[in-house]
Structure 1
Amino acid sequence: MLKIDIHTHILPKNWPNLKEKYGYGGFIHLDHHKCGCARMFQDDKFFREIEANCWDPDVRLTECATHQVDVQVLSTVPVMFSYWAKPEDAYDLSRFLNDHIAGVVQQHPSRFIGLGTIPMQSTELAIKELERCVNELGLAGVQIGSNVNDRNLDDAAFFPIFEAAEKLGAAAFVHPWNMMGKELMPKYWLPWLVGMPAETSRAICSLIFGGVLERLPNLRIAFAHGGGSFPATIGRIEHGFDVRPDLCAVDNSVNPRKYLKQMYFDSLVHDPLKLKYMVDLVGADRIALGTDYPFPLGELAPGKLIETTAFSDEIKAQMLHGTALKWLNLDKAQFIN
């Protein structure tokens, strides 16, 4: 059964010293301190350690073979978004990262699909790079963050970007990052365990209540980590909409539950009961295999949750590849040898 993983991250093995190139700090650099391992630093602050599977396509393909993953959708590591940087510098870095992803896809067109990154802090430059990603590089769409410098995704500056994505037929993948309240959660990895799910719900609610999804019904947008806390709290969100329309329905008078069948979600929920709930809530045709490869908080045996949960073969096939193809607007035939 064809298996497409829509949520995987990749980096180039090397890139220029961005602090020297742009003249100020805050950017990520790699320290290849031993064979097959590198430390990610933001200036002098350690961020995380990565291995060769984060940059070497051959290592990725070997690990894909182990888990019978046929296709990976590649996107950058969110810390590389650099929305805080000067727009022209984030644009330049986006081009570099997107050229790298496009190159990997060109080398293995039946094994990888690419999503670009765009400088969301500049509407003009973001649209310019989005158009290049789709029209010149042949990428399927873009990955964006759950907020942009603490601005929610319903901000008027972002609407033209989403509108351009809809017109281009580009898939959009929203990934949590820069988690709100992280300063208040310094222990226990809470920004990743608590903040990330809340971040995704923040993004979804902003797009719903802000009327973005209502105005762009053909925008193919997916959310990481099973939509975070949003699916589990849709009842509360809907109830709030019903009882306090003066607060919730100020920009969009449509019940938020309507949009459950307008969004896509990856399957990264780590719990068979939650996955069953998601299928009941939105349908298998809205859920696609996603693992957050190659990071440890992801699904370490890609597809296992779907394959070992009590679903019919038809529903499993839908989540393992059918939904991904629908979201990406791609043909299954190009990935079957």
Structure 2
Amino acid sequence: MTIDSETSRRQILKRLGTAGVVAILGGSSAFTQEKVNKVSVRGGAIDVHHHHQPPSLGPGAGGRGGGGPWTPEKTLAQMEKFGISVAILSMTQMGDILYTGTEAGRTAVRIGNDYGAKLMQQHPRQFGLFGGVPLPDIEGTLKEIEYCYDTLKVDGIGIYSNDNKGRWPGDKYFEPMWQELNRRNAIVYMHPLARLCCRSLDYGPAASMVEFDFDVTRAVASIVVNGVMFRYPNIRFITVHSGGTVPMLAGRMKDRVPNGSQKYLPNGLYTELRKWYYDIAHAAFPWPMAALMKFMPHDHILFGTDYSPEPIESTVNELPGLDLAKDFMQAMGRGNAERLFPRFKV
């Protein structure tokens, strides 16, 4: 190689030096850029599984995606980074604080709802809200439903998969709540809560590893076979994590419907399970997605992330490898949620 000038010599040495630094650092230096998998959806995705954390109720959800105390500024930055235009907020894993059946539980729920509503008012095009309720306190729950809809103007009501006292949502104990939610044509978002008994099982994994999705499945089955959907057809139900184990167990569930429950299933168990909406938060892996897309109508599959307990990347980084059709991605990422929450339609 011929060096024509001192300038050329300096340029070559500079390039060699830069390459050497990158090689020494294994390519993981400031010279490399983080690859971000944005959700490929016109208008931005609608995230129906997104948690807020009132600062007065604790230090934050933690988990793998918390990154310190939750703040709306962090959430909005993460939403912009990953192509999410709307997050419908709900309380995170706080069942031991909210589901006490005491005045303290009522107070905690009200704090969470007021905080979420304030965020919604400040950012009406970016935040929605599933209002919480203080189960197993039925009187307090009915009052909070009224407050949520009439004062806070929530988008729906959020419940946990059990009441932290040994009951799942199909129990007759909850009939007054279902009656009121049916009257209001409610959207009910159901998030897992590991039942107290199951947290004491000494077999190794944390509840978030497997028990959350097992309890989602118990709760869905409880609602369906105990006739909640039959008696209260105006309620639309959303649950999480690609349905827990529902798509995989649907066949066994069909063949094991309890005696006396067939009257609640005039068109069969599958029909009732397919009325639910399922988000894909932290469950966009090839295997649950294959089962979900095979079993469920595609217009009942929703986008979610489980942020901030879970990093948004846990969901969005799986999507490119699924080879999803553009029309399906648009529907799952936004269109299906727009039909449930028309105020966010663009």
Work out whether the TM-score is over 0.5.
Answer: yes
CA distance in 1, matches of 2:298, 2:188: 19
Q: CA deviation at 1:4?
A: 0.6
Match of 1:287 among 293, 296, 301: 301
| Mapped contact 1:39–1:50 kept (Cα < 8 A) | yes
Deviation at 1:305, TM superposition (A): 3.6
Distance 1:253-1:173 versus aligned 2 partners, 3 A rule: closer
Determine what percentage of the aligned residue pairs are the same residue. Answer: 24
**Distance in 1, Cα, partners of 2:148 & 2:138:** 15
Which TM-score applies when normalising by structure 1? 0.81
Residue-by-residue CA offset, 1:112-147 (whole Å, 9 max, x unaligned): 111111012122210111121111111111211101
Instruction: Quote the offset at 1:49 in angstroms.
Output: 9.3
Measured in 1, the distance between the counterparts of 2:242 and 2:204 equals 24
Match of 1:325 in 2: 338
Change (3 A) 1:3 1:39: closer
Tell me the equivalent position of 1:10: 52
Return 158-167 or 252-261, whichever deviates more. Answer: 252-261
The SS at the match of 2:129 is: strand
Task: Between 136-145 and 270-279, report the one with greater CA deviation.
Answer: 270-279
Query: Match for residue 182 of structure 1?
Result: 199
Match of residue 327, structure 2, among 297, 309, 314: 314
- Indicate if the aligned counterparts of 2:239 and 2:277 stay in contact, CA closer than 8 A: yes
Higher relative contact order (CA 8 A, sep 6+): 2
CA offset digits 1:196-227 (Å, max 9, x no partner): 11100100000011000111122111011111
What's the RMSD between the two structures over aligned residues? 2.4
Matching residue within 189, 205, 209 for 2:225: 209
Decide whether the 8 Å contact of 2:53 with 2:61 is kept in 1: no
Q: 1:234 to 1:142 in 2, by over 3 A?
A: same
Q: Which residue is 1:61 aligned to? A: 76
Could you tell me how far 1:299 is from its partner in structure 2?
4.6
Does the 8 Å CA contact 1:306/1:316 hold for their aligned counterparts?
A: no
What aligned pairs does 1:1-337 form with structure 2 within 5 A after superposition?
Answer: 1=42, 2-15=44-57, 29-30=58-59, 50-52=66-68, 55-80=70-95, 82=97, 84-148=99-163, 149-179=165-195, 181-189=198-206, 191-241=207-257, 245-246=258-259, 249=261, 252=264, 254=266, 255-268=268-281, 269-296=283-310, 299-300=312-313, 302-333=315-346
CA distance in 1, matches of 2:124, 2:329: 24
Q: Is contact 1:83–1:121 with CA below 8 Å preserved after alignment? A: no
Distance 2:345 2:73 in 1: 23
Is residue 144–residue 175 contact of structure 1 (8 Å, CA) maintained in 2? yes
| TM-score, reference length from structure 2 | 0.79
* One-letter code aligned to 2:323: A
Give, in angstroms, the shift of residue 7 of structure 1.
0.3
Instruction: Describe the shift of the 1:253–1:76 C-alpha distance in structure 2 as closer, same or farther (beyond 3 A).
Output: closer
Spell out, residue by residue over 1:158-214, the C-alpha distance to the aligned partner (whole angstroms, 9 max, x if none). Answer: 12212222222332111111235221145232x222211110010000001100011
Gaps of 5+ in 2: 1-41
Decide which structure has greater strand share. 1
